[in-house]
């Protein structure tokens, strides 16, 4: 089996590659070759018992997508995207990468023809939804995004469904909640503070909270994000039906509940490293975000995530900090 990960240099792409290297197989089929692609050189996972190729290019440049799929990968994980805050700040860049790049990829697959029909796993986002919201957003709620990023992802979902309907590939879209706690350094995602207020204090550093503590949002860990991708790659398309995109399970908590969980797990001294510095721009964006989801369709199809925010914090401590933190 040949696998291509677009966005392989990002956090989720790196963890997915590590999981594939550890498992050596996907859906019971041995991995024969893995290609990691990004605009910066991805890191090949240690211990892989199959060839790993790393490629650097802008996949939205004409012809780049054709080169990426020329080897006919059996599974394509499309994780490449400009994140929410950057897509909002740079309108042209967001549409070029998140929309034009996605369409170029889908067209490159279609052009091969000759019976080639890979599984394409597309990472969408809960940003496809827009206010006003019900108490919990269910499977029947319509897509009315309130950001450019959400609009780009919603269009990607429609393209994924149509190209699948036409038989060009077998697509599955997964709407990721905010992934928390993200390891590494802060990125340009507007949602980054949700991770920052947990990650930095555990590392002995101060963190800035730009929104009120009553803000509620939905989260899943990086560990769950990888599980979502693996399951989406092996899901029976017939069971999914014509609605190809699914909202993933998540844990809905307020910022206050996040902080209280940090305090309970790591102590008052760690939680005391959070500084409140309101940011009106971020507050405006967050006010239009969904708060809670009813992901029963995804759960019926076998997707699972954490059941509490404490599980998410402990997963970060175990996976990224070796089981300890800076008190």
User: Tens of pLDDT along 63-77?
Assistant: 999 999 999 999 999
Q: Please tell me the predicted confidence (pLDDT) of residue 188.
A: 72
Q: How far apart are CA 274 and CA 202, in angstroms?
A: 11
* Chain position carrying tokens 């909270």: 209
Q: Please tell me the predicted confidence (pLDDT) of residue 245.
A: 97
Q: Please tell me the predicted confidence (pLDDT) of residue 285.
A: 80
Q: Please tell me the predicted confidence (pLDDT) of residue 189.
A: 78
Q: How far apart are CA 278 and CA 266, in angstroms?
A: 25
**Burial status of residue 279 (CB atoms within 10 A of its CB: 0-12, 13-18, 19 or more):** middle
Write the DSSP symbol of residue 314: H
* Chain position carrying tokens 């994780």: 79
What architecture (CATH level 2) is domain 2-178+219-247? 3-Layer(aba) Sandwich (3.40)
**Is 149 part of the annotated catalytic residue set?**
yes
Query: Rounded to two decimals, what is the model's pTM?
Result: 0.95
Q: Please tell me the predicted confidence (pLDDT) of residue 42.
A: 96
Q: Please tell me the predicted confidence (pLDDT) of residue 307.
A: 97
Q: Which two tokens stand for residue 141?
A: 């709620």
Three-state secondary-structure class, residue 209 = strand
Domain borders along the chain are 2-178+219-247, 192-218+251-291+307-320
Compute the CA torsion angle 196, 123, 130, 300 (nearest 10 deg).
-100
Q: Please tell me the predicted confidence (pLDDT) of residue 186.
A: 76
Q: Which CATH class is domain 192-218+251-291+307-320?
A: alpha beta
Out of 116, 133, 149, 163, pick the active-site residue: 149
Three-state secondary-structure class, residue 162 = helix
Q: What is the DSSP string of 52-115?
A: EEEEE--TTSTTHHHHHHTT--SEEEE-----HHHHHH-HHHHIIIIIIIHHHHHHHHHHH-TT
| pLDDT, tens digit, 9 for 90 and up, residues 8-62 | 999 999 999 999 999 999 999 999 999 999 999 999 999 999 999 999 999 999 9
Residues of the chain with pLDDT under 50: none
Q: Please tell me the predicted confidence (pLDDT) of residue 286.
A: 83
Q: Please tell me the predicted confidence (pLDDT) of residue 201.
A: 98
How many CB atoms within 10 Å of residue 261?
20
Counts for the chain of helices (H) and strands (E), in that order: 14, 14
> Within 13 Å, how many C-alpha atoms sit on residue 155's CB side?
16
- Radius of gyration of the CA atoms of the chain, in A: 19
């Amino acid at each position: 089996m040949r696998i291509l990960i677009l966005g392989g240099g990002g956090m989720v792409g790196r963890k997915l590659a590590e999981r594939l290297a550890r498992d050596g197989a996907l859906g019971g089929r041995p991995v024969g070759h893995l290609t990691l692609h990004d605009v910066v050189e991805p890191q090949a996972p240690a211990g892989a018992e199959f060839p790993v190729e790393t490629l650097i290019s802008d996949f939205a440049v004409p012809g780049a997508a054709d080169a990426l799929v020329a080897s006919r990968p059996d599974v394509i994980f499309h994780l490449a995207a400009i994140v929410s805050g950057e897509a909002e700040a740079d309108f042209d860049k967001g549409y070029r990468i998140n929309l034009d790049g996605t369409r170029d990829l889908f067209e490159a697959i279609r052009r091969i023809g000759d019976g080639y029909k890979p599984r394409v796993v597309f990472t969408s986002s809960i940003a496809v939804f827009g206010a006003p919201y019900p108490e919990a957003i269910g499977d029947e709620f319509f897509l009315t995004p309130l950001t450019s990023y959400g609009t780009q992802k919603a269009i990607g979902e429609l393209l994924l469904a149509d190209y699948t309907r036409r038989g060009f590939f077998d697509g599955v879209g997964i709407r990721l909640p905010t992934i928390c706690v993200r390891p590494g350094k802060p990125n340009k995602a507007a949602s980054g503070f949700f991770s920052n207020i947990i990650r930095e204090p555990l590392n002995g550093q101060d963190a800035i909270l730009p929104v009120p503590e009553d803000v509620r949002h939905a989260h899943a860990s990086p560990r769950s994000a990888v599980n979502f991708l693996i399951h989406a790659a092996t899901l029976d398309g017939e069971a999914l039906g014509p609605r190809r995109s699914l909202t993933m399970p998540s844990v809905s908590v307020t910022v206050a509940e996040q902080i209280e969980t940090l305090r309970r797990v790591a102590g008052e001294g760690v939680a005391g490293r959070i500084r409140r510095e309101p940011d009106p721009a971020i507050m405006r964006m967050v006010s239009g975000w969904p708060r809670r989801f009813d992901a029963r369709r995804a759960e019926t199809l076998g997707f699972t995530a954490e059941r509490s925010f404490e599980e998410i914090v402990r997963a970060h401590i175990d996976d990224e900090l070796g089981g300890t933190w800076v008190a």
